[in-house]
Amino acid sequence: MLINELVINPLLFFRIIVIVIASVCLHELAHGWAAVSQGDDTPKKTGHLTLNPVVHMGWYSIIFLCIGGICWGQMPVNPSKFRSPKWGNILVSAAGPLLNLALGILFLILLKVSFNSPLEGIVSSQFLLLGARINLMLFLFNLLPIPPLDGFHVFSEFFPSFKPLENSSYGLLALMIIFSTGLTSGLADLADLMIKVVSGM
């Protein structure tokens, strides 16, 4: 439980909370901006083009994050308004994970340039490394072809026969298995491998 870190290592707890909330909000905003670029004004009409984390995550998600380290966000879009239903959905769905990938790389770049530079005394290298790891994990996790994750929406556009699974209990069951069996540790290992490859650390 993430809440345990509040007692054991409060600095790490608050770093995780800040990074995750900021990353999830930017992830959802990327979906929104992509949807607007495809002709859908739903994000604007619903007031979701904002940095307010409560709008994107809601209090329940933020509370779950602080207690258990699990959270979610949402960006209302209307695919029927996309100029191209197929490619619009692919672009909008992929925008969130790609934003996390970009953030992960940005954190690694900042980590590289911070060594023996004025940044070293301003931003902690542990914070930058944590930011990279969390965002790369969010990138990998959201690309899993499991509903309601972004990866499923991309996958189902290429394989339409899987679209009926979107509203089934398959996704919830798969996610429960992933979290209950600790399979997310595999994503963490893969994120660490990506950090080593990109940064040479």
Looking at residue 77, its pLDDT comes to: 97
pTM listed for this prediction: 0.93
> pLDDT digit string (tens) for 158-200?
999 888 888 778 888 888 888 888 778 888 999 999 998 887 6
Predicted confidence (pLDDT) per residue in 57-88, tens digit:
999 999 999 999 999 999 999 999 999 999 99
126-159 burial by CB neighbour count: b if 16+ within 10 A, else e? ebbbbbbbbbbbbbbbbbbbbbebbbbbbbbbee
Q: Is 120 one of the catalytic residues? A: no
Choice among 28, 120, 157, 166 that is catalytic: 28
